[in-house]
Structure 1
Amino acid sequence: MATILIFALTAMLGVLAIFQIALAAGAPLGKYAWGGEHITLPINLRLGAISAVLRYAFIAFIALDRSGTIAVLPGEFSFWVMWLIVAHLGFSVILSLLSKSKDEKMTLAPYTFVMGLLSLLIALQ
């Protein structure tokens, strides 16, 4: 089961990373992210999109380590950081639900909720 969980989470993070890269490159998808106020993101939000990609890579790395798929970090470290990730994703769901953008609420909120649930299941292992 751990393999399925980690595959699902890393695949979802990969899709989200591609989405953020597209936003950073100027794709007109801004109504689905970052509050939905800009169709094409301004430079500060494009930089935020790039930082999100780095954050997703870090989350994937920690989840892979916590699930035992890779063994690089001390167990206690990945244990505690995985719980921070669960909290981070829970907070992200709340922010998406508070967004002024209906499109963001309808897409990113449930997507992030599923990622948070997968992260929780990985953290509990």
Structure 2
Amino acid sequence: MTVQIAHLYGTACLAIVFFQIALIAGAPLGRYTQGGTHDGALPMSGRIIAAVSIPVVLFQGLAILSAAGFPGLGWPTWTGWVAFAVQVVSTVLNWITPSKPERAVWGPVMLVMAAMALVVLTA
């Protein structure tokens, strides 16, 4: 079961990466990210933040997959805990954002992802 949960976590991370790519490409989803201060497409500074978040999210996914024993990774266990810490911070930030659409969408998603990461790390 732990491996399946890790796979779900990794899949969610990939979905977030695709969301970030859409933001970089100019998708009008600014209300759903970075505090919701932009109704349409993000300005260049917001797109840069989206680009920087991609390797962070990929790290998180790979770290949790490694913690579940995914073949070929073999990362130290502490990387999974770092990924979990980043996930918890993301969860809190998405629940306290002034953007109602961001809270409604990303708050629950981040909370479920944090729970999945914790399950994998404590199994």
Which residue type is aligned with residue 110 of structure 2? T
Give the CA deviation at 1:73: 3.4
The number of equivalent residue pairs is: 122
- Please give the per-residue CA displacement for 1:65-96, whole angstroms capped at 9, x wherever unaligned: 1111124335xx2x112112212111111111
Partner of 1:101: 99
Which residue type is aligned with residue 83 of structure 2? I
Identity %: 29
Give the CA deviation at 1:119: 0.6
Which residue type is aligned with residue 119 of structure 1? A
Partner of 1:122: 120
Which residue type is aligned with residue 67 of structure 1? A
Decide whether the 8 Å contact of 2:84 with 2:117 is kept in 1.
yes
Gaps of 5+ in 2: none
Which residue type is aligned with residue 102 of structure 1? K
- Cα distance in 2 between the residues matched to 1:6 and 1:63: 6
- Cα distance in 2 between the residues matched to 1:65 and 1:92: 21
- Cα distance in 2 between the residues matched to 1:70 and 1:109: 31
Gaps of 5+ in 1: none
Which residue type is aligned with residue 29 of structure 2? L
Which residue type is aligned with residue 44 of structure 2? I
Partner of 2:25: 25
Choose 88-97 or 24-33, whichever is displaced more.
88-97
Which residue type is aligned with residue 114 of structure 1? V
Which residue type is aligned with residue 46 of structure 2? L
- Cα distance in 2 between the residues matched to 1:2 and 1:49: 29
Give the CA deviation at 1:108: 0.5
Q: For 1:63-78, list aligned pairs within 5 A.
A: 63-73=64-74, 77=76
The 4+ residue runs of structure 1 with deviation greater than 4 A are none
Give the root-mean-square deviation of aligned CA atoms: 1.3
